[in-house]
Amino acid sequence: MLIIPAIDLKDGHCVRLKQGLMEESTVFSEDPGAMARHWVDRGGKRLHLVDLNGAFAGKPVNEVAIKSIVSAVGGDIPIQLGGGIRDLETIERYLDSGISYVIIGTAAVKNPGFLHEACYAFPGQIMVGLDAKEGKVAVDGWSKLTGHDVIDLAKKYEDYGVNSIVYTDIGRDGMLTGVNIEATVALAQALTIPVIASGGVTNLDDVRKLCAVANEGIIGTITGRAIYEGTLDFTAAQKLADELS
């Protein structure tokens, strides 16, 4: 079970949002590269980056900060990145720069043909981010709920050849209210590709609960606010996950 630190980028800084609201942001660091190195040095096995400005603008905005993170990590661990990725040229540029996996979110829902092309062009390196509330997918930085069922869409993307699904319960993200285990397990059981949980990880109890269902196909969880505010000791969390997995 991977405990994956999130580095959310806004205006070149590391921030956390509450429920995806840009105006509800807290700056945790003004040096993204140093923050990335911090998590690697504390036992991180993968990093999760989000270009928040990019997610809202529909194009990359924080590329300078992203490059500083890639440089600081130096290829020691894989990096997955999402936010504002809407074309193959952007994917190629990020992968060439040292990003391991690209996460497509809104564009996967609005333009499935693009996702299909991306999976074909970059096999094994495309992940899909599905953000949902009460089983329905949200797009455009969580600002719009669609009528799409999470499991139905995920199955379609699995057929395209995506590497894995990042599943976020947007009702819980940044709220420190615990992971939606039931919904995450239901999604993982419906798929043969791995699922990464996101949203709500608060403490070691949440890590234990996720490890207990790891054999359903859940390979990791993304954590942000909890490790920045100290309700979750990251090193202890990854150590516990290693022991239980």
User: Which sequence positions are flagged as catalytic?
Assistant: 8, 131
CB atoms within 10 A of CB 197: 31
3-state secondary structure the chain: CEEEEEEEEECCEEEEEECCEEEEEEEEECCHHHHHHHHHHCCCCCEEEEEHHHHHHCCCCCHHHHHHHHHHHCCCCCEEEECCCCCHHHHHHHHHHCCCEEEECHHHHHCHHHHHHHHHHCCCCEEEEEEEECCEEEECCCCEEEEEEHHHHHHHHHHHCCCEEEEEECCCCCCCCCCCHHHHHHHHHHCCCCEEEECCCCCHHHHHHHHHCHHHCEEEEEECHHHHHCCCCHHHHHHHHHHHC
Cβ contact 30:9 at 8 Å: no
